[in-house]
A and B are shown apart, each in its own frame.
Chain A
Amino acid sequence: MSEAATSPANMFKARRAAEDRARLTQALVRTGQGDRSAFETLYRSTSAKLFGVCLRIFGDRRDAEDALQDAYVTIWNRASSYDPARASPITWLVTVARNRAIDRLRAAGKGGLAPLDEAAEVADPAPDAEQSLLEQGEAQALSGCIGELEARDAKFISAAFLGGATYAELAERERAPLGTVKSRIRRALIRLRECLDR
């Protein structure tokens, strides 16, 4: 990692990624001040990524389009609460898009219905030209640490994150007591955090 990271090409890439992040932060902060042109800039530079997130959660294009529209209206309304000191702009945007999509999934009565095996596919760590080195590193670390969990627990976590499954739904599908599922996932979360902080 360290040798690759200090190659001239990667240093150039890292600098460009830092500039992109600064531009995104500025666009998001100005959106929070009610600046429509900043909001449009933000939309143009992030909507393809967030559409990918919505499609991943919904599968269906129409549903994903509605979810994306809802996500950007929510972003417009909540941008003033974004604090650059607390979160990276892309994490904030992805979190808003994911949470709105899950809310819609649940409102439509489709929460927690994705088959566990399908939901288990975790972020593809294959390098993506649009991703910064930092993002790639984070995605690889998460997918590595999820790979260290027991397969069942990893499936629970992604069924919750991408499928909106709650404890009650997971317990019902597993035909296991709620308390058992809950303590398994809590243990898995602690292990996941330890692994990511290593």
Chain B
Amino acid sequence: MTISTLSEDDIALAGEYALGLLQGADAVLASARMKTDAAFAAEVEAWQERLAPMANADAQAVPPALWDRIVTSLPQGPAGKAPARLLRLWQGMAAFSTAAAAVFALLLVTRQPSPVPVPVAPQPMVAALASEGSPTALTASYDPASGKLLLQPVHMEMGRRFPELWLIPVGGSAISLGMINAKGASFIVVPATLRAKMGAGVTLAVTPEPAGGAPGGKATGPVVAAGVMTST
């Protein structure tokens, strides 16, 4: 058995999150915490393990046609993931003419739904970062053209620690965007390597950290404010 350092409150929170009872700011905060707090993430996983038997049901015969429906709705990944049928077709074409095959492959590529949403003209984005007891602890606005992120604290309690800002891509882990001011506005120029990750749906989160920031790029404090970026 692992020895958890979580309080009873946190254990209950992990259970509420795993059950899906939380909504709004509470759900966003818990989901951001999943990405920054390994002990909390492990407790959520433990709850999933504990609760999974509740979904137990007798096995049911699946209609045979369902497998084909699943295969046709899979996204087209890199070449290794292309369905064998398309690959064989492509190889057949190549035998006739590489030029024709190239054109055909291009058609295939352009007709496939892209697995990643294609970015359109960059639009400014905003997020309201909520904390427990305050719907807006700080606001964020981001200009994708320049990569500038402006943060304006509204009400942020940090105690003796300092706020660090994290970018949490959809389905990814937290990446530090650096320290921000607890009292006044902060400007952050998002590094060029991270700009591709800034888009609608990503979460911004704040954790209290020692001066100079979280050691080793891993958050040490709980998520005290978090919000999801939306296009304006």
**CA–CA, A192 to B47, complex, Å?**
10
**CA–CA, A168 to B24, complex, Å?**
11
B54 touches A69 (CB 8 A): no
Within 8 A of A (CB), among B111-163: none
Q: Cβ of A88: which chain B residues have Cβ within 8 Å of it?
A: 49
A69 touches B66 (CB 8 A): yes
Q: Cβ of B15: which chain A residues have Cβ within 8 Å of it?
A: 186, 189, 192-193
Q: Cβ of B67: which chain A residues have Cβ within 8 Å of it?
A: 40, 43, 47
Q: Cβ of B56: which chain A residues have Cβ within 8 Å of it?
A: 52-53, 123-124, 128, 131, 139
Chain A minimum-CB-distance residue to B65 = A65
B74 touches A73 (CB 8 A): yes
Given contacts A56-B57, A142-B51, A168-B23, contact A69 B8 (CB under 8 A): no
Q: Cβ of B55: which chain A residues have Cβ within 8 Å of it?
A: 53, 56-57, 94, 97-98, 123, 161-162
Given contacts A76-B74, A158-B54, contact A190 B49 (CB under 8 A): no
A161 touches B51 (CB 8 A): yes
**CA–CA, A167 to B49, complex, Å?**
22
A48 touches B81 (CB 8 A): no
Q: Cβ of A99: which chain B residues have Cβ within 8 Å of it?
A: 20
Binding site for B on A (CB under 8 A): 34, 36, 40, 43, 47-49, 51-53, 55-57, 65, 68-69, 72-73, 76-78, 81, 86-88, 90-91, 94-95, 97-99, 102, 122-124, 128, 130-131, 135, 138-139, 142-143, 146, 157-158, 160-162, 164-168, 170, 185-187, 189-190, 192-193, 196-197
Q: What are 30 A-B pairs with beta-carbon distances under 8 A?
A: A40-B67, A47-B67, A51-B62, A52-B57, A56-B55, A56-B57, A65-B62, A68-B62, A69-B70, A77-B75, A81-B171, A86-B45, A87-B48, A90-B52, A98-B55, A99-B20, A102-B20, A135-B53, A138-B53, A139-B53, A142-B50, A160-B19, A164-B20, A165-B21, A166-B23, A167-B23, A168-B23, A185-B21, A187-B12, A193-B11
